[in-house]
Amino acid sequence: MNAPAARGALDGNAAENRETPRIRDARLWHQLRAVAKHPSGRFGLLLIAPVLILAIAGPLVIDWDPIKINPSDTLQGPSARHWFGTDQLGRDLAARVVSAIPVVIWVPLGAVLLAVTGGSAIGILAGYRRGWLERVLMAGTDVLLAMPGLLTAILIVGVFGGGSRNMILAIGVIYLPRFTRIARGSTLEVRGLPYVDAARLSGTKPLALVMRHILPGISSPLFVMCVLSLSTGLLVQTALSFLGFGFEPPTADLGRMLANSVDFLTLAPWMAISPALVITLLILAFNNLGDAVRDVMDPEVARAAGTV
């Protein structure tokens, strides 16, 4: 770092150093570390930790079978025997919550990955090729964006059936257009930058141009959108389950557990508390992480600093 400075003193470059502020580090790993250090990021990680610990350690310490009915233990409050209590069929809520956690993490994650992959591909294609292709792709995107998200998701799982895979598909599809729009907008911005032109003149072919120059340039806003979409994706997933479009009955699933608890809310409030707590913690965690990621990577901030 100091070698150029030493030279700068010799040939008068020292003056430029004052004018050119050092921009923030664009490398992903450094940005992730900055997210972990950000107050909101810390808080998010703190919230997500107990849920992850529960999901990993739970099956090892809880002996109850999440789907086994125990007629003698119905509607029990939290106790040493049943930590989170039992439901109207005597199933252990701790075991059920623990077995349901992977779904509420993997489904939003899978859906967001699907949406960001598909959306970026479409958006980059539209922004890079322009012309009629762009108009067709963006018209389709606008149609998808105009449809109410939850209803579209219900339509998809209604037609194809529930289960993790179809929920990922449904949520992925309703989240696709927002990524398409971001990818297209950022591509339009980046494709005109001098370094992209320079790459063209250096003989870089279109595919390499997109992978080496455009994709890194548009990755920050997409990544920010990913993290922000995780929490709403989780909400959509639990809403689908709550409405009965999630998994077949014996399977434990937080949305359906909440729906079940409605009839017993005065008699056995603990039936609602443990699934609701997990959902709340995860959403708070994702939102806080999203805030941190946005602060660290937001293209506006980065642009002000000269990165983009």
Partner 1 sequence: MKRAAPDADSGKQAMALLRLDGVSVHFRLRGRGRGGGVVRAVDNVDLTIDEGEVLGIVGESGCGKTTLGRVIVGLQSPTAGNVVVRGEKRPLRQRPGANARRDGFQMVYQDAAGSLNPWKRIGWSIAEPLRNEGMRKPAMRERVLELLDQVGLPDSLIDQYPGELSGGQQQRAAIARALAGRPRLIVLDEAVSSLDMSTQAQVLNLLKDLAERHPVNYVFISHDIAAVDFMSDRVAVMYLGKIVELEDAHDRKSPLVHPYSITLRSAVPVPDPVVERRRNRIVLTGPVASATDLPSGCRFHTRCPIAQPLCADAEPELASTSETSRVACHFAGEFDDRYAAARAGTTGGSG
- Please report, as ranges, the residues that interact with partner 1 according to CB under 8 A: 1, 3-4, 7-8, 11-13, 15-17, 19-20, 22-27, 193-195, 197-206, 212-213, 216-217, 306-308
User: What is the closest distance, in whole angstroms, from the C-beta atom of residue 256 to partner 1 in the complex?
Assistant: 44
User: What is the closest distance, in whole angstroms, from the C-beta atom of residue 291 to partner 1 in the complex?
Assistant: 24
Q: Which is nearer to partner 1, 61 or 198 (CB)?
A: 198
Residue position matching structure tokens 């810390």: 42
Helix pair 149-160, 164-191: axis angle to 10 deg: 130
Which DSSP symbol is given to 23?
A: P
Q: Which is nearer to partner 1, 189 or 295 (CB)?
A: 189
User: What is the closest distance, in whole angstroms, from the C-beta atom of residue 199 to partner 1 in the complex?
Assistant: 6
User: What is the closest distance, in whole angstroms, from the C-beta atom of residue 21 to partner 1 in the complex?
Assistant: 9
Q: Which is nearer to partner 1, 5 or 46 (CB)?
A: 5
Q: Which of 49, 54, 53 is nearest to 83 (CA)?
A: 54
DSSP SS3 for 207: helix
The secondary element (H helix, E strand) that includes residue 239 is helix 215-242
User: What is the closest distance, in whole angstroms, from the C-beta atom of residue 191 to partner 1 in the complex?
Assistant: 10
Distances (CA, A) of 247 to 91, 104, 227: 17, 12, 25
The secondary element (H helix, E strand) that includes residue 252 is none
